[in-house]
A = this chain, B = another copy of it.
Amino acid sequence: MELDKNTKILIVGLGLLGGSYAKALTKKGFTVKAITRSQSSVDYALGEGMIEYGTTEPDPDVIGWADLTVFALYPHVFVEWIGKYGKYLKKGSIITDVTGVKSCVVYKIQDMLDGVEFIAAHPMAGREVYGVQNSDDSIFKDANYIVTPTDKNTEEAIKKCRALGHTLGFAHVSELSPEDHDLMIAYLSQLTHCIAVSLMTSSSVPGLKAYTGDSFRDLTRIARINEDMWSELFLLNKKPLISMIDEFSGELYRLRTYIADDNVEKLKEMMRTSTERRKAFDKTNMSEKD
C-alpha cells in the first residue's frame, strides 16, 4: 500500500536522508515542504525542485500545515526540537523519523507529544557522503525500512508509516520492537563499524597500503566514518553494542586460542560453521530478491 497522495509532508532536516526523502516524495507527486538549518540547503533543494517550499525558521504555520512530518535530525537535536516546537504540530497528525537507534528516542518523544502520534522508523540506507547535495533516492531501492511501533501506536499510524516505506521505494518493509531493532543494529551495523575503525587504527605495519587486497578494502570501506553521528549513535545504544562487542571479542579469542594451541580440528570446525552460516545467508538474500 502506498501513501495517500493528498498527504501534506514536512521534512525537518535536509541532509542526505531528508533530501533523499524529499526527492523521492516530490517525484511521486506529493507536496513536500522543508525546515532545515542552513539557507544553502533550502536554496539547493528549491533549485533542484525537490521541495515546494523551504525555510530555516521553525514557522508555526509550516509546522502546523503537515499531515506527516519526517524528522531527519541527529537524535539529540530531534528531542530538543520536539521540546521547543512540538506544540505547533497539527493535532491528529503523524510524525516519523529516520533515527538509527530507537529505544532511547521513541519512548521519550512519545511522552513529550500531545494529540500527535510518533511512529518511529529506521530507513537502513545511507552513503559515505553527507548533505542534501548528495541526496539520492536510489539508495532505498535494495534497502530495508523498519517500523518500530510501541504499545502507544495505533494500527492506522503503523499502516501509514509502512506505506511511507513502500512509497519511498524500499525493497523490504518490516516491523520490529525498538529493543529488537537496537540489538539487531548493534550487531549488524554498529559492531561492523567498530571493527572497521579498530582495524584501521591498529595498523602498525609500515608501507602496507601497496598490498591491500579486496578483503581488507571491503572491511575498512566503512572506516571513513562521520564521527559526530556515529559517536552519538554508539553512546545511545551502549548496552546492546557493548554486549555485541564482547560476544564478538569472545569468538575472536576462541579462534586465537585454537591457533595458539595448533588445534586444527577446532579451527576447521569454526570455519565450517562460518561458511555454512554465510551460505544460508546468501540464499536468504537471494530468495528475498526473487
Contacts and interface: CB of A to CB of B under 8 A. Distances in A.
Pick from A210, A252, A280 the residue with the most CB of B within 10 Å. Answer: A252
A152 interface: no
Given A218-B219, A224-B279, A234-B267, 6 more contacts: A188-B205, A200-B278, A201-B274, A209-B280, A238-B259, A238-B260
- State the majority secondary structure of interface residues on A: helix
A7 interface: no
Contact of A195 (B219, B221, B245, B254): B219
Contacts of A85: none
A241 B230 CA distance: 30
A205 B144 CA distance: 17
B216 A218 contact: no
Contacts of A124: 211, 213
Interface in A157-190: 172, 174, 183-184, 187-189
A201 to B, nearest CB: 5
Contact of A252 (B213, B234, B249, B264): B249
Contacts of A210: 144, 172, 174, 284, 288
Contacts of A220: 278, 281
Interface of A: 124, 143-144, 146, 172, 174, 183-184, 187-189, 191-205, 208-213, 215-225, 227-228, 230-232, 234-235, 238, 241-242, 244-256, 259-260, 262, 264, 267-268, 270-275, 277-282, 284-285, 288
B201 A273 contact: yes
Contacts of A252: 194-195, 198, 245, 248-249
A66 B221 CA distance: 44
A245 B242 CA distance: 19
26 contacts: A143-B213, A172-B210, A174-B210, A189-B215, A191-B199, A192-B216, A194-B252, A194-B256, A195-B219, A196-B215, A200-B274, A201-B270, A202-B251, A215-B221, A223-B274, A223-B277, A224-B275, A224-B278, A227-B267, A230-B271, A232-B264, A234-B259, A235-B259, A238-B260, A238-B262, A249-B249
A220 to B, nearest CB: 6
Nearest to A231: B267
Contacts of A248: 198-199, 202, 252
